Amino acid sequence: MELLKVSAKSNPNMVAGAIAGILRENRSVELQAIGAGSVNQAVKAVAVARVFLTDDGINIAAVPCFTEVTVGEETRTAIRMEIVRI
């Protein structure tokens, strides 16, 4: 499964385009975000991707969970969202 890392500086429309492109070919994609700003951009991207995919008759759902990631020598808690076609 493909993993897209979203930062607070990510453009939601660009991330949405990536999500839509992947979901046109595959059943799912994962987003990973660390921090409130990143999670905000990721959620916006999922909402926009849903609009992009409507014309193709594709509906999606997001399944969020917590995960631990290592950044340098530090362990951080991230939000990981699996975006699936329904």
User: Could you read off the pLDDT of 21-75 as tens digits, one per residue?
Assistant: 999 999 999 999 999 999 999 999 999 999 999 989 999 999 999 999 998 999 9
Q: Residue 1 — pLDDT band, cuts 50, 70, 90?
A: confident
How is residue 37 written in tokens?
A: 């700003």
pTM over 0.85: yes
User: Could you read off the pLDDT of 73-84 as tens digits, one per residue?
Assistant: 999 999 999 999
Q: Is the pLDDT of residue 7 over 90?
A: yes
> Residue 56's domain spans which residues?
3-85
Q: How many domains does the chain have?
A: 1
How is residue 8 written in tokens?
A: 């607070």
Q: Is the pLDDT of residue 4 over 90?
A: yes
Using alpha carbons only, what angle is made at residue 5 by residues 56 and 76, rounded to the nearest 5 degrees? 140
The CATH number given to whatever domain includes residue 80 is 3.30.110.20
Q: How far apart are CA 1 and CA 20, in angstroms?
A: 14
